[in-house]
Amino acid sequence: MQVKAACVSGSQKGYGMSQAILLYSERHGRTVFASVHDVSMSKEGVASIEAGSPVSKAGLVKMMQTLLPEDYAPAELLGNHILAKGSDHLVWYCKPQKRHVWFNNDEIGRDVSAATHQPGLVFIISKEDWYVFAVKGNKRPSSSTPLYVAPYLNVWAGGRICTGNIETPKGGMRFSTEAWEEAFFNSYFTHPNQHEKGVLTKYRGGIFSLWRSLMKGRAFPAESLVRAGETLGQAFERTVKHGQP
């Protein structure tokens, strides 16, 4: 079989055809097997597909995992904090606990950190963005659980986290909840992304007063949380299924 070869050019490199994969289907269209073939090139740039050998579907999946590691979730047992997981999303729950937070602003301090009480949190990693929401109580949330605004700086309306210069997990760490939590809590909280009064917290004095109190070791005041206006199931539909910010 001969075909005219196409050369794919990048900013620094050109790529030529070296191998081809052929898919074989039944009459009704279902693909039943595949074969891989070496490709030889003529001086005129015509590619000849040589005789091939059959490959397994498992081999094809492994090839795609190698080419696009971020698009494939690794095989693993899921902890009970995982709420949803797929090839392009990850949703999990963090129970209320103490975590170190870092600030770098005039209102709280420059390069200051303290172990502070946190509310229960839900993180959502979608194909394009990542989000954080608060939940009340300490039970694993369900799709009907109401969400609350996560009272943090650097978080947009709708829960989307401003990455700034944060190094987010890539490759094999793409599906590590610990890596995402470290990226969030070990970054500097610098400024509020929502400025309207009462949108981040009901705490008297506002968001900076809340965090100054928490930096002194106070328990997190659950009554200060502001409703996000959607349940976990609705947020999942919006952020993961529909890709809306």
pLDDT digits (tens, 9 = 90+) for 32-85: 778 888 888 887 778 888 888 888 766 676 666 666 665 665 666 677 899 999
Place of tokens 């490199």: 13
pTM of the model: 0.73
Element (H, E) at 133: strand 130-135
2 pLDDT higher than 70: no
User: Strand 97-105 to strand 188-189: parallel, antiparallel, or no bridges (unpaired)?
Assistant: parallel
Q: What is the pLDDT of residues 8-28, one digit of tens each?
A: 444 455 667 778 888 888 877
Identify the band that residue 156 occupies on the pLDDT scale cut at 50, 70 and 90.
very high
State CA 55 to chain mean position distance.
Answer: 32
**Mean per-residue pLDDT, 234-245:** 92
> Can you tell me the distance from the alpha carbon of 15 to that of 178, in angstroms, rounded to the nearest whole number?
37
State CA 9 to chain mean position distance.
Answer: 30
